[in-house]
Amino acid sequence: MFIEPSRKKEILHPRTGWIEVICGSMFSGKTEELIRRLNRAKIARQAVEIFKPALDKRYHQEDIVSHNENSIRSTPVQTANEILLLAGNCEVVGLDEVQFFDTSILDVCNSLADKGKRVIVAGLDMDFQGKPFGCMPQLMSIAEYVTKVHAICVICGDVASHSYRISPSQERVLLGETDIYEARCRRCFNLGEKVDRNF
Ligand SMILES: Nc1ncnc2c1ncn2[C@@H]1O[C@H](COP(=O)(O)OP(=O)(O)O)[C@@H](O)[C@H]1O
Ligand SMILES: Cc1cn([C@H]2C[C@H](O)[C@@H](COP(=O)(O)O)O2)c(=O)[nH]c1=O
Ligand SMILES: [Zn+2]
């Protein structure tokens, strides 16, 4: 949680970069936590650049917006490689919905961190089937710091780690909110439609 060393001595001794992953189910607070870390970097007067995949237009074309309506300005990108061109001389790079990038995001994050930048990414660790989501397992492997956050199961009130899809659609990418997804604990996720909604 407290990965915020001062960068003041950099002129004398260049500091290394690193990668932070914030992962968890839908509604677990990934975006809130990403925004919190990025705002604190801005307060420390560090140069921050923020990106999201262009396909994520749920709440806003450009802003990253959490389910409880915190927001921060970002640049939508079509491909991971665009981030390398746009990150410029910034000190901190933030990425939301990172599960939607292909595996080239791994080289991009490594390259940014190798240049001395702090790279903070947030993404879903599992898809609606409970399977690891795209690039996320590899990102967690190459990261220096991994934080898993949790939602509350909307069926029973336990800690939720899964994103249950209410709609019958089977494609992996299906943007949505509470209209299509529920945060569920392992037990309620496995019960599927057999859950007791009057629990
Ligand atoms: N089932 C739930 N469990 C926890 N928080 C929830 C739930 N449903 C809605 N929320 C709201 O979602 C917020 C987290 O939103 P956000 O940071 O966008 O999550 P994520 O990016 O992980 O989907 C919480 O602070 C809370 O206000
Ligand atoms: C589980 C799952 C989710 N999605 C989509 C649904 C939302 O648009 C985003 C996740 O947003 P959040 O900030 O984590 O709430 O991803 C998907 O396309 N496929 C899935 O399996
Ligand atoms: Zn439950």
Q: What is the ipTM of this complex?
A: 0.99
Ordered by start, the domain boundaries in the chain are 15-149
Contacting residues for 121 by C-beta, under 8 A, at least 6 apart: 19, 20, 21, 22, 94, 95, 96, 98, 105, 109, 139, 143
Contacting residues for 67 by C-beta, under 8 A, at least 6 apart: 27, 31, 177
Distance, CA of 74 to CA of 51 (rounded, Å): 5
**128 CA: nearest ligand 2 atom:** 21
Q: What CATH class does 15-149 carry? A: alpha beta
Ligand 2 touching residue 55 (CB < 6 A): no
pLDDT above 60: residue 9: no
Q: pLDDT per residue over 22-43, tens digit each?
A: 999 999 999 999 999 999 999 9
Distance, CA of 176 to CA of 180 (rounded, Å): 6
Q: pLDDT per residue over 127-165, tens digit each?
A: 999 999 999 999 999 999 999 999 999 999 999 999 999
* Ligand with the closest atom to the CA of 197: 3
**32 CA: nearest ligand 1 atom:** 17
Contacting residues for 137 by C-beta, under 8 A, at least 6 apart: 125
How many other CB atoms sit within 10 Å of the CB of residue 178? Answer: 12
Ligand 2 centroid to Cα of residue 9, in Å, is 40
Q: How confident is the model at residue 1 (pLDDT cuts 50, 70, 90)?
A: low
Strands (E), 25-141: 48-53, 64-65, 71-72, 75-77, 92-95, 118-124
Ligand 2 touching residue 26 (CB < 6 A): yes
Nearest CA to ligand 2 atom 9: 175
23, two tokens: 């992962």
199, two tokens: 């629990």
Q: What is the pTM of this model?
A: 0.95
